[in-house]
């Protein structure tokens, strides 16, 4: 073997060790179980977050009859997917879609926090929930990366979905944007809980 070849192999194995090192292989089921437990708490909180958010925005958002489940906002990922398509995704593909969605949601939650800090500066509880949610998402992203690396993959690099121009919006649009973010975040957590229920069956702890 010539020297350049040997050093290439060395680099390759270093990369492999780097990717494999966050979690030893045998503990993948432990991380999956940990992540599942985290998700159940996030799921419970996502309903509280949505309701708290709505109650702080005034009418029509705070009306008890308010419901606009089909509202969307550019760049905020939707969780809806046909069952068959979802079921035939590989584990890595399914995790990658989560990674992509939560990366975008994390950015949007920061934007919602910024908006609410101006619109509802006295709603400290809401501001705190938005902040904690974003922290939990960051933790989830790290878990997703760890699980994917053990399964032999890594997240597809995400492109920024949020453009600086879209930060500018009227107060009403900001309120709608925040609603869509909290609403779709809750849908995503529901989907991810299903994803992980499936993973847990394959990797029982």
Interface residues toward ligand NAG, by CB under 6 A: 20, 22-23, 25, 31, 34-35, 38, 41-42, 45, 129, 132, 136, 139, 142-143, 146
SS3 letters across 52-76: HHHHCCCCCCCCCCCCCCCCCCCCC
* Of 203, 87, 107, residue with least CA distance to 160: 107
Residue among 89 and 151 whose Cβ is closer to ligand NAG: 151
73 Cα distance to chain centroid: 16
Whichever of 45 and 187 has its CB closer to ligand NAG, that residue is 45
Least Å distance, CB 41 to ligand NAG, is 3
Q: Closest separation between CB of residue 20 and ligand NAG, Å?
A: 6
Tell me how far apart the alpha carbons of residues 35 and 195 are, in angstroms, rounded to a whole number. 11
Q: Which is nearer to ligand NAG, 81 or 135 (CB)?
A: 135
State the nearest-atom distance from the C-beta of 163 to ligand NAG, in Å.
Answer: 28
CB of 72 to ligand NAG, least distance (A): 25
Closest CB to ligand NAG among residues 34, 166: 34
The answer to whether the beta carbons of residues 178 and 116 sit under 8 Å apart is: yes
**Least distance between ligand NAG and beta carbon 142 (Å):** 4
Of residues 31 and 101, the one with the C-beta less far from ligand NAG:
31
């Amino acid at each position: 073997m010539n020297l350049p070849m040997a050093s290439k192999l060395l680099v390759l194995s270093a990369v492999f060790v780097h990717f494999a090192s966050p979690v030893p292989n045998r503990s993948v089921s432990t991380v999956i179980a940990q992540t599942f437990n985290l998700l159940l708490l996030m799921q419970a909180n996502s309903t509280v977050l949505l309701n708290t958010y709505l109650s702080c925005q005034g009418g029509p958002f705070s009306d008890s009859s308010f419901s606009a489940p089909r509202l969307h906002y550019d760049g905020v990922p939707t969780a809806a997917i046909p069952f068959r398509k979802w079921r035939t995704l590989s584990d890595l593909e399914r995790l990658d879609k989560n990674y992509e969605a939560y990366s975008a949601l994390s950015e949007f939650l920061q934007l919602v926090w910024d908006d609410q800090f101006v619109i509802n500066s006295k709603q400290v509880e809401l501001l705190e929930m938005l902040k904690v949610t974003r922290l939990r998402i960051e933790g989830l992203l790290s878990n997703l990366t760890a699980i994917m690396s053990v399964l032999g993959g890594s997240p597809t690099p995400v492109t920024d979905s949020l453009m600086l121009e879209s930060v500018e919006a009227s107060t009403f649009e900001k309120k709608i944007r925040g609603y869509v973010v909290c609403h779709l975040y809750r849908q995503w957590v529901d989907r991810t809980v299903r994803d992980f229920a499936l993973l847990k069956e394959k990797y029982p702890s």
